Structure 1
Amino acid sequence: MPNASAAAFETPAARRRRESLGLWLGLLGVVIFAMTFPMTRLAVGPLDAPQLSPLFVTAARACGAGLLSLAYLRLSRAARPDRDEFRRYAVCAAGTVIGFPLFVGLALREVPAMHAAVVTGVLPLSTALFAAWHLRQRPSPAFWACAGLGCALVIGFAVWQGGGAPVLADLWLLLAVLSASAGYVAGAQLSVRRPAEHVISWVLVGSLPSTLPLTVWSWPQQPALPTAWAALGYVTVFSMWLGFFAWYRALVIGGTVRVSQVQLVQPFLALLMAVPILGEPLEPATVVFALAVLATVLLGKRMPVQQA
């Protein structure tokens, strides 16, 4: 795991290899995360044919991943977190374990997975802004302009899809973006000090006192389709656990601001996966908005960010 002193003595070739590895690991994490939208949609179901409740999906995926993490940490004899890390663990848990899954689940009861993929397309830009803030960097006015344009495009898409006004689901999706960004940055900071696999596992184990009883309390009273339970299994094992093994390690190896831009491809992967998994039609206007959001994030990536 690279640190500041080691990075100072890196050769340009070694730095390029490290950054390349970080980008490939980030891409692996993004592919896993892209399946989250269609799988969550399968798990919760639409309003006219509900399956598992968003609260249950949120709690159960974290609880299941937490039990897997508990076994993994015992087998790997991982060191316990330090007291001075507790605040970052709490932020990571609030953002990635509770906030993002819950807000996405609430939104996907009302809107298709493709809609969610476009609205959350500003996640790379949001993550970069959170990273710049925590790393005490100063984005240029042009960077902020790109961020504002990207948000405006997302709002425009939400208004167009909502028939003239955003719907409540769009608020849930924007809250999901903010939650994920804060959680990603906190997790990346923790992964500098210990293996990424241990970070997400401790986050999930630390959440068990709340997710385990909440899972039992919110257990569905009505039967759900086997596909809903299978989708819950995917978001438990992959979206909530194994995906973060690759993602947090990538953020550390390749740099949080740089690797966060790999999420540019996530909306398009989610769009493509929603077609065979959910049978959602791929409308040209949806692709146009997704490409426009992608363009603003690419422009934002090229804008200078100065150290404070």
Structure 2
Amino acid sequence: MTAHDSATLPSAIAPQRGTTSGTALAALGVAFFSLSFPATAWSLTGFGPWTSTGLRGALAGVLAALYLLASAAPLPKRRHWPGLLVVSGGCVLGFPLLTTIALRTSSTAHSAVVIGVLPLATAVVAALRTGRRPSRAFWAAALAGAVAVLGFTLLQSHGRPTVADLLLFVGVVVCAAGYAEGGRLSRDLPGAQVIAWAVLAALPVMVVTSAFGLATEPVRIGAKALVGLAYIAAVSQFGGFVLWYRGMAGIGVPRASQLQLAQPLLTLVWSVLLMGEHLPAAAPVTAVVVLVC
């Protein structure tokens, strides 16, 4: 087949290079995100939740500023800023703070399974925001995964969700809004610039959060705490999002969100290997059910 032949093929059968690369980038982002809860738990060995969240955002803000300066990125247009602020509120402040507080009393394995409902939440927000409607099969699979997560949560809490569970569910909602809005913006701006500007916009708030945390929470600096903080700042809060939003731009928010159904299962692996946690029997079963969906 010649290059001309390939260029004239119908889109349905022509090689989908953009789709393939988008899927790979989104999957790599999910792999990086799967380590976020263990890394957050490590950071909590030396820092309180407010300190950890604030320093995470502040350090990521410094990295974002350096990237924007090095790449001579132009200022976003006025129409981009509302969406960037949604990303800031959901993915830079809301989700990290809520999940970090939850991880003080909830295991990384349990928390990972609970946020397995995030793909459904992201798809719902994206559908409401863009007007696009995924297929019935998509909704059936996503709802089945959500029901599995809800059943797991109620089983583990004896029919009554804990405060940590409620924090995780609220975190899912605000993170879904940030994911969906970031995916939409990534069609107009490079994915790296979307998260960089969102992190930079949140920098003043993160500096205040850091100051509050340092003034009110004890600090016990150790190697594990520093490694955990470095990971969630450089990777979970910035690098992973660069890949994630670029992947979303390539394959769309609903399809990318379905890839994230693999994240709980990956985090369960890390919770055993890195945290030494004992998994309840329902955890891997639920994670596999969600992955199959």
Structure 1 range deviating more: 58-67 or 217-226: 217-226
Q: Conserved in 1, the CA contact under 8 Å of 2:265 and 2:291?
A: no
Look up the equivalent residue of 2:251 and give its one-letter code: G
- SS in structure 2 of the partner of residue 29 of structure 1: helix
Matching residue within 244, 264, 281 for 1:284? 281
Q: Counterpart of 2:31?
A: 31
User: Structure 1 length normalisation: TM-score?
Assistant: 0.86
Q: Is the 8 A contact 2:134 2:254 kept in 1?
A: no
Give the Å deviation of 1:145: 5.4
Question: What SS does the aligned partner of 2:16 have?
Answer: helix
Deviation at 1:164, TM superposition (A): 3.6
- Return closer, same or farther for 1:185/1:60 CA change in 2, 3 Å cut-off: same
User: 3-state DSSP class of the match of 2:278?
Assistant: coil
Q: Find the counterpart in structure 1 of residue 16 from structure 2.
A: 16
Counterpart in the other structure of 2:229: 232
Per-residue CA deviations over 1:145-191 (Å, capped at 9, x if unaligned) read 55554333322212221234211111111111111111011111111
CA distance in 2, matches of 1:102, 1:277: 22
Measured after TM superposition, the shift of residue 10 of structure 1 is 7.5
Amino acid at match of 1:256: V
Q: 1:143 to 1:253 in 2, by over 3 A?
A: closer
The worse-fitting range, judged by mean Cα deviation, of 122-131 and 18-27 is: 122-131
* Structure 2 partner of 1:255: 252
Given residue 38 of structure 1, which amino acid in structure 2 is its aligned partner? Answer: P
Q: Distance in 1 between matches of 2:206 and 2:276?
A: 32
Kept in 2, the 8 Å contact 1:19–1:255? The answer is: no
The amino acid across from 1:244 in the alignment is F
The whole-number CA distance in structure 1 between the counterparts of 2:199 and 2:10 is 34
Root-mean-square deviation (CA), in Å? 2.0
1:103 — aligned with what?
Answer: 98
Letter in 2 for 1:54: P
- Quick one: which amino acid aligns to residue 35 of structure 1? L
Question: Residue 86 of structure 2 aligns with which residue?
Answer: 91
TM-superposed CA distance for 1:225, in Å, is 3.1
Residues 116 and 146, structure 2, Cα contact 8 Å, conserved in 1 = no
Shift in Å, 1:273? 0.7
What residue is the counterpart of 1:78 in the other structure? 73
Gaps of 5+ in 1: 1-8, 46-50, 299-308
Show the counterpart of 1:48: none
Q: Does 1:61 align with 2:50?
A: no
Of 127, 131, 142, the residue aligned with 1:136 is 131
* In 1, Cα distance between equivalents of 2:93 and 2:281: 33
Q: CA, structure 1 residues 64+10, in 2 after alignment: closer, same or farther (shift >3 Å)?
A: farther
1:112 aligns with 2:107: yes
Give the C-alpha shift of residue 207 in structure 1. 1.0
Amino acid at match of 1:177: V
SS of 1:282 mapped into structure 2: coil
In 2, the alpha carbon distance for the partners of 1:225 and 1:200 equals 29
SS at match of 1:283: coil
Distance 1:68 1:10 in 2: 42
Residues 1:92 and 1:222: Cα distance change in structure 2 (over 3 Å): closer
Native 8 Å contact 1:155 1:166 kept in 2: no
Match status 1:187 vs 2:179: no
- Partners of 1:282 and 1:68 lie apart in 2 by 36
**Normalising by the residue count of structure 2, what TM-score does the alignment of the two structures yield?**
0.90
Q: Distance in 1 between matches of 2:94 and 2:228?
A: 19
Range moving further from structure 2, 122-131 or 244-253 = 122-131
CA apart distance, 1:13: 5.0
**Structure 2 counterpart of 1:271:** 268
Structure 1: how far apart are the matches of 2:222 and 2:136? 50
Aligned to 1:173: 168
Q: How much identity, in percent, do the aligned residues show?
A: 37
Structure 1 position 139, deviation (Å): 5.1
